[in-house]
C-alpha cells in the first residue's frame, strides 16, 4: 500500500478584521511574544473575549489560525494525526496541531485542561526552546517555523482540582489574564456587536454584574459578555428584553429552579 501524506484542511485565513477592543497592553505583549517565539497562555472566565482576541491577533499578524475546542475525549492522536485507509491506500492525515506547525500558523487550544492528559506531553516540546513536534507514528520530527505560535487557554475559576494546569506546563508559557471589561466598555462592546441602543446595553451589563455577584453563591459562573451579545441580538430582533434575558442568560447559567427564579427576577427589576 502506498503511503500518501495529506495536510488537514483546518487552516483559517482571516481576511476581515475581527472586532476586538483592547482593555490593556495585551496586544503589544502578544506581538512581542510572537516575535520572540514564545507560547502564550490566556487565563480568564468563559465568554470574556479570549477567542476573539486570538482571532484578532491572527488577523493583525497575518497568520493562519487553527482553533481546537478541547474536550474530554481529545487525544494526542486527534491533535497530531493518524493513518487512515482510503481507497486501498494508507493515508496519513495531519491533525490540527501538525497542520498548524507545518503552515507556521497560530494554533489555539481552547480550554486545554479539558483534553486528556497525553495531550500535554505532545505540546511540551513545542512550548519550550526546542519548538518541535514529534510524530512518533511516522518517525518524524517537525520543526516549527518562525511564524508558528502555540496559544492555550483555560478558566482557572471554573476548573476542578483534577483539571488544573500543571506547573510543568504553565511555566513554559507567557501568561495573560483576562476578565470582563469595565461596565462602560462592556456596554459599548455589546452595542457594537448587536446594534442595540446604549441604554439597553447598559442595562444588560448591569444585569450581568448582578449575576456575577452570585458566583460561588448559587452560580458557577455569572453572565458572560458573550451571553449579553446573544441577548442583545434577540432584543434587536424584537424579543422583549425580559424574555431575551431569560432565554439567552438565565437558562444558560443555571438549571436550578430557585436560582432561575432569582435571576429572572433580577432582569425583571431592570427592564
Indicate the domain borders of the chain: 3-177, 183-270
Which CATH number fits the domain 3-177, given the four candidates 3.40.30.10, 3.40.50.300, 2.30.140.10, 3.40.50.1820?
A: 3.40.50.300
Per-residue model confidence (pLDDT) at position 4 = 46
Supply 79's cell numbers.
491533535
pLDDT digits 0-9 by tens, 16-59: 999 999 999 999 999 999 999 999 999 999 899 999 999 999 99
Bridge partners (DSSP) of residue 41 are 152, 175
- CA–CA dist 43, 51 (Å, integer): 11
In this prediction, residue 163 has a pLDDT band, given cuts at 50, 70 and 90, of low
pLDDT digits 0-9 by tens, 84-138: 988 888 889 999 999 999 999 999 999 998 888 888 889 999 999 999 999 999 9
pTM given for the model: 0.90
In the chain, which ranges are E strands? 3-6, 40-43, 65-69, 81-86, 89-94, 106-110, 132-135, 140-143, 149-154, 174-177
Amino acid at each position: 500500500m502506498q503511503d500518501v501524506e495529506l495536510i488537514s484542511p483546518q487552516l483559517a485565513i482571516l481576511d476581515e478584521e475581527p472586532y476586538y477592543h483592547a482593555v490593556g497592553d495585551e496586544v503589544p505583549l502578544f506581538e512581542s511574544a510572537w516575535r520572540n517565539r514564545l507560547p502564550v497562555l490566556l487565563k480568564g472566565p468563559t465568554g470574556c473575549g479570549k477567542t476573539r482576541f486570538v482571532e484578532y491577533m491572527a488577523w493583525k499578524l497575518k497568520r493562519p489560525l487553527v482553533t481546537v475546542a478541547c474536550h474530554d475525549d481529545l487525544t494526542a492522536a486527534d491533535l497530531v494525526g493518524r493513518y487512515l485507509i482510503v481507497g486501498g491506500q494508507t493515508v496519513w492525515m495531519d491533525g490540527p496541531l501538525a497542520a498548524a506547525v507545518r503552515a507556521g500558523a497560530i494554533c489555539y487550544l481552547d480550554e486545554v485542561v479539558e483534553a486528556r492528559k497525553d495531550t500535554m506531553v505532545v505540546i511540551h516540546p513545542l512550548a519550550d526552546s526546542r519548538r518541535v513536534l514529534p510524530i512518533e507514528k511516522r518517525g518524524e520530527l517537525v520543526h516549527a517555523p518562525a511564524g508558528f505560535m502555540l496559544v492555550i487557554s483555560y478558566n482557572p475559576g471554573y476548573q476542578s482540582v483534577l483539571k488544573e494546569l500543571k506547573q510543568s506546563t504553565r511555566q513554559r508559557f507567557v501568561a495573560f489574564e483576562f476578565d470582563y471589561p469595565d461596565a462602560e466598555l462592556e456596554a459599548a462592546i455589546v452595542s457594537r456587536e448587536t446594534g442595540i441602543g446604549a441604554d439597553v446595553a447598559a442595562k444588560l451589563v448591569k444585569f450581568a454584574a448582578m449575576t456575577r455577584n452570585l458566583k460561588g453563591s448559587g452560580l458557577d459562573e455569572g453572565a458572560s459578555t458573550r451571553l449579553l451579545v446573544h441577548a442583545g441580538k434577540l432584543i434587536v430582533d424584537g424579543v422583549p428584553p425580559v424574555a431575551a434575558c431569560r432565554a439567552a442568560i438565565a437558562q444558560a447559567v443555571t438549571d436550578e429552579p430557585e436560582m432561575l427564579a432569582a435571576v429572572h427576577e433580577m432582569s425583571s427589576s431592570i427592564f
